Amino acid sequence: MLAVDRSLRPQRVSVREQRLIAFVGVCGLGAIDVLTYLSPTTGPFGSSDPVSGSWIDVAVNTAVVLAVANGIRRGRRWAWVLLVGYGILNALVLVLAAVLLVAVGLGGIEDAADLDLTVTLASSATWVVALVYLILVRAAFRARPKAALGEAPAPTVDDVKAELRATGGGTLSWMTTWEGMSYARFGRGIVAFQRRSRVALVLGDPLGPEETRAETVRAFVERAENAGLAPCFFSAGEATRAVVPEGWRSVVVADDTIVDLPGLQFTGKAWGAVRTSLNRAEREGMTFRLSRLSDETWGVRQQLRAISESWVGDKGLPEMGFTLGTLHEAADPEVRIALAVSPAGDVDGFLSWLPVYGEGRVRGWTLDLMRRREGGFGPVMEYLIGSSAQQFSNEGAEVMSLSGAPLAHEYPADAGVLADLQERMASMLEPVYGFASLHRFKQKFHPRYETMYLLYRDEADLTRIGAALTRAFLPHATLRQFAAAGVELVRPEK
């Protein structure tokens, strides 16, 4: 089928396909060895009886085959060298058997060597076919998972920030400047990613000029596959979805909730909840302040830390990362903090806003942290977001993103299994993270929605991608914490 489909040119198959074909071939050859122990066989070289030997030999051979096959699947050079060496040995055996057949005949060889020549010839012949293929696609087995994925030297965080200021980015782009990210440069294009569970996990869209996006995506995918990593793009937009390689899959992971700020007025019945919170805050003497964390006093910073620690303590898991920041990320001088301060000087709630650059300036802000003090001002979040929107609008900002709403996308009626799976996951995670309730809260600000996707090669990568995302969002969580969270999810009362 490979010969028919590829016109006898296996080198045109993608690197991933070359490795997969080799992996299947090695597993098949290992299965043949096991089958010859179990039953008689009939084939082009004649018939044979079951091969004598112990089950220990079979188990050891199977373990070795699986280890080498896994190395081939991951593109490891050592596995390729072992298989090529074994293939050469089988080729020599095949040549030697042919010479002996001519010299002494089939019966003479089997009597002298006490072996079933049918099995030997069949095994050697199939290994020679595998040897030819492995040599043809030898370039696919040079994977170095820790190799740099882009041009040298790799960009620094300062380079990424400079590129964002120059060419702009999406609502999540500032998150690519956080700790834990690696960067790959391809000309002017920059890809921000993490290596997790043998996955090159890209956050958002590539950075750089719009016209370089297609080439940047293609180059990154090629480099990642050559390194033995599964490339994928998390929370990417429609523009990136349009330029991924043909045949890639996509699944909706969130809807970015965006409020357009020009001419924003909280008038009319639709804005009643926000307007009520602003009026109530004024009556109760609440104060709104938009500043930088470094500009606040030590006492205020301690209050923010106490509020955050109390919020995290209720979850049973560490603070999440990747697309969810902490006070550490909020300390960035370019990040702004919105504070709601009571008449007594207590901070009842706070937000952090990430800059969204475009055309050489800050064109908008993205909501990151949302924290409130237990027992404080009731509608503090409506008050903080509404007050922030008013100030951003007065400053000339164009958009305000309330960030993505995970597992809250409204699928069409014919979405099928995907929609059912999302609804099931959303209902399970709602007691822990409240994604659905957060989505309903954001609807008070009447945003428009931009779909955010997970882009990946095919379903075979999803297990690894799931493990990579888990570790990206919860890099410091222990097995005990994961187990405790799992128990919380399945409790009947939950």
- Look up residue 451 and give its two tokens: 């779909």
Residue 368 CA to residue 323 CA, distance in Å, equals 8
Distance CA 44, CA 472 (A): 53
Distance between CA atoms of residues 462 and 423, nearest Å: 18
CA distances from 95 to 36, 121, 128, 276, 421 (A): 22, 10, 11, 89, 56
- Cα separation, 318 vs 184, in Å, equals 29
Contact 197, 471 (CB under 8 A): yes
In this predicted structure, what is the pLDDT of residue 183?
95
Which domains, and CATH codes, for the chain? 2-140 (no CATH), 256-412+432-448 (3.40.630.30)
User: Residue ranges of the alpha helices (H) in 153-293?
Assistant: 157-167, 213-226, 238-241, 272-283
CB atoms within 10 A of CB 491: 8
What DSSP designation does 257 have?
E
Quote the Cα angle for 211-334-352, to 5°.
105
Distances (CA, A) of 269 to 272, 273, 440, 448, 449: 5, 9, 17, 18, 21
Report the candidate in 478, 431, 464 with the shortest Cα–Cα distance to residue 318: 478
Query: Is residue 297 within 8 Å of 305, Cβ to Cβ?
Result: no
User: What is the end-to-end Cα distance of the chain in Å, rounded?
Assistant: 52
Backbone angles phi, psi at 316, to 5 degrees: 80, 0
Tell me the pLDDT of the chain (494 aa) as tens digits.
555 555 555 545 678 788 888 899 889 888 887 887 777 877 776 677 776 666 776 777 788 888 988 888 888 888 889 989 988 988 888 888 777 766 665 555 555 555 566 777 788 888 888 899 888 888 778 777 777 888 889 999 999 999 999 999 999 999 999 998 999 999 989 999 999 988 999 999 999 999 999 999 999 999 998 888 999 999 999 999 999 998 899 988 888 999 999 988 888 888 888 999 999 999 999 999 999 999 999 999 999 999 988 876 655 566 677 888 889 999 999 999 999 999 999 999 999 999 999 988 999 999 999 999 988 899 999 999 999 999 999 999 999 999 876 655 565 555 555 556 666 665 655 555 556 677 778 888 889 989 999 999 988 888 889 889 888 887 776 667 666 666 555 565 54
Number of residues that make up the chain: 494
pLDDT at 405: 65
| Cα–Cα distances in angstroms (integers) from residue 388 to residues 326, 339, 350, 397, 401, in the given order | 19, 10, 11, 11, 11
Q: How far is CA 121 from CA 23, 82, 118, 388, in A?
A: 22, 20, 5, 78
Those residues whose C-beta lies under 8 Å from the C-beta of residue 483, and which sit 6 or more positions away, are: none
| Cross-strand pairs, 366 | 354, 401
3-state class (DSSP) for residue 353: strand
DSSP label at residue 494 = -
- pLDDT for 185 equals 95
Q: β-strand 199-203 against 230-236: which pairing, if any?
A: parallel
> What does the pLDDT read at residue 367?
95
